[in-house]
Amino acid sequence: NVTITINGNQYAVPSDLTVLEAARTVGIDIPTLCFLKDINEVGACRVCVVEVEGARALQASCVLPVREGMVVKTNNQRVRNARKTTVELILANHNRECTTCVRSKNCELQSVSEELGIRDIRYTGAKREGKYDNFSHSIVRDSSKCILCGRCVSACKNVQGIGILDFVNRGFETTVGPAFEVSMKDAPCIYCGQCMVVCPVGALTEKPAIDKVWDALEDPKKHVIVQSAPAVRAALGEEFGYPIGTNVTGKLASALRNLGFDKIFDTNWAADVTIMEEGTELLGRLQNGGKLPMITSCSPGWVRFIEFNYPDLLDHLSSCKSPQNMFGALAKSYYAEKNNIDPKDIFVVSVMPCTSKKSEIERPELAVEGVRDVDVSITTRELARMIKEARMEFDKLEDGTFDPFMGDYSGAGVIFGATGGVMEAAIRTVADVLTGEDLENVDYTAVRGVEGIKEATVNIAGKDIKVAVAHNTKNAAIILDKIRAGEADYHFVEIMACPGGCVNGGGQPIQPASVRNVIDIRAERAKALYSEDAALTVRKSHKNPEIKRLYDEYLGEPNSHKAHDLLHTHYYA
């Protein structure tokens, strides 16, 4: 410990803290704008400055280590004035169209300027000319709102290990974007959206698609089906004031019902289908000397990552479409046939925690006979906006249920939304198949949790199955390098592009740094899924009666010819 004086009081604090952390541990808050714990600790914005006795200039507290005997003032007039000047200068060069900005009321610049009591901006002058790029299907980049905090740069480079975004140009023209400011459409960006969820302002946002959904709902000729991804229910509540980690499945169903969809179904059901297809594919590869390890293919950001960076390893990917697209393909074939509806009149909307899904649905091969699997994909955040626009009082909604048929799911389908969930779901089914039993233990805890890479050996019917789970693409690269070097003896690998898996996807509600710095939102949201799984009676995909029916009445066997036509795909080097 060291002794440090903050605002006239002495405190003993651990010696490895920064002044910012030390102050916060003793209940003294210092405002920040660029700081994001473990991700962006660079002292760029200087909103967190403090006065340190003996130092002439004010110091950025987020990168200033505590020292024995240090005397710090965090909130005198000099400090406050400096912070105001800093924020005013940022605002002077910021496109302040708050009333129409999608981040209004969830903007850290707005909050800090309000907290500092900024009422007018003393600096006027040239504004940097912004670049507006909405050419990709996933991301809109509006550099007129960028405040150069560097968080997106750090998230992309240090968390994801990718490095699409960086500071470009010089001096007054400095901005953040892809090299040469090419469109995000033309950069090898995986559209994971991890840059978006750390952006404190509206410089990086999802490509909006709500209008297409409203239009479809108004169109009497369209039969509009919605599917909601596993992780949506673990986070949607945050948009309506619920604590992080609250499961809102029932209210989600009611909200979708009120919006007027013809059917409200669940991607979880398709996740169960995926387990049947992918599990069977794995057993086939194990028995027939196929390419191992087999790697999951459901996270579209991850698929883009391997296509761009490890094209030589593409034959390790499962040929399964993602549950999102399996759902769409089956809605427009199985459901259409059972209900006598022309597939061309069916409009499938997906609600996803993901921004990469918006691009996935546009992949040319993800259609059956010219009919797109999925027509529109919106994020959890966009669904929240629709609910608000429809003026529903979310907290007053009764708990509803999804429609039967493609809305019935097992616990295995639910946990897909957390890192390790697909693996656990697969093991539950593969273990039953290999042993020929209905195994009682379904909790494979070794693959749960937020550790970056998890490895486990599961003994099934006397055979050791070696598995690995990685989340975020930096960890994925570690596994891929091992495979490439011939040093990996896994049979099956799960990879999700986002840290924590889909619960922390780029389309989820955005929590400000003040929350992210103290709460592991990945772990909290994952708990919401594991508890729903534990509460369900059917927890294995192959035990879901609606899955049995799908195969009995329509597909035949998993990996059948028909299943291949509808549910499997290919990749591009």
**Residues with catalytic roles:** 278, 281, 298, 318, 357, 360, 365, 502
Q: Does position 476 bind ligand SF4 by CB under 6 A?
A: no
Nearest-CA neighbor of 317 among 299, 297, 289, 298? 297
Among the residues of 415-537, which ranges form H helices?
Answer: 421-435, 473-484, 513-516, 521-535
271 vs 431, beta carbon nearer ligand HC0: 271
Cβ partners under 8 Å of residue 135, min gap 6: 183, 184, 185
Partner from ligand HC0, ligand SF4, none binding residue 297, C-beta < 5-8 Å depending on class: none
Among the residues of 1-95, which ranges form H helices?
Answer: 19-25, 77-92
Partner from ligand HC0, ligand SF4, none binding residue 162, C-beta < 5-8 Å depending on class: ligand SF4
Cα maximum dimension of the chain:
80
Minimum gap (Å) between residue 355 Cβ and ligand SF4: 7
Give one DSSP letter per residue of 27-46, joined into a string.
Answer: T-----SS-BTTTB----S-
17 vs 497, beta carbon nearer ligand SF4: 497
Cβ partners under 8 Å of residue 174, min gap 6: 148, 167, 168
Q: Does position 501 bind ligand HC0 by CB under 6 A?
A: yes
Minimum gap (Å) between residue 352 Cβ and ligand SF4: 14
150 vs 323, beta carbon nearer ligand HC0: 323
Query: To which H or E segment does residue 485 belong?
Result: none
Number of residues that bind ligand SF4 (CB under 6 A): 14
Our CA dihedral for 30, 36, 42, 48, rounded to 10 degrees, sits at -10
CB 336 within 8 A of CB 343: yes
Tokens (6 digits) for 39: 């991700």
Residue 197, φ and ψ in degrees, nearest 5 = -75, -15
Residue 65, φ and ψ in degrees, nearest 5 = -70, 150
The stretch near ligand SF4 (CB under 6 A) out of 88-96, 191-199, 269-277, 287-295 is: 191-199
Q: Please report, for residues 125, 337, 358, the alpha-carbon distance to residue 15 in angstroms, rounded to integers and kept in the order given.
A: 44, 68, 46
- Binding to ligand HC0, residues 504-523 (CB under 6 A): 505
- Binding to ligand HC0, residues 391-430 (CB under 6 A): 416-417, 422
Partner from ligand SF4, ligand HC0, none binding residue 416, C-beta < 5-8 Å depending on class: ligand HC0
Build a one-symbol-per-residue string for 131-170: x at contacts with ligand SF4 by CB under 6 A, - elsewhere: --------x---------------xx---x-x-xx-----
With left for phi above 0 and alpha for psi between -120 and 50, is residue 350 left, alpha or beta? beta
83 vs 471, beta carbon nearer ligand HC0: 471
The stretch near ligand SF4 (CB under 6 A) out of 99-107, 168-176, 189-197, 430-438 is: 189-197
Q: Does position 271 bind ligand HC0 by CB under 6 A?
A: yes
- Residue from 49, 198, 502, 547 binding ligand HC0 (CB under 6 A): 502
CB 31 within 8 A of CB 20: no
Number of residues that bind ligand HC0 (CB under 6 A): 22
Q: Does position 190 bind ligand SF4 by CB under 6 A?
A: yes
Task: Name the site residues for ligand SF4 (rule: CB under 6 A).
Answer: 139, 155-156, 160, 162, 164-165, 189-195
Task: Name the site residues for ligand HC0 (rule: CB under 6 A).
Answer: 229-231, 267, 271, 274, 298-299, 322-324, 352-354, 357, 416-417, 422, 496, 501-502, 505
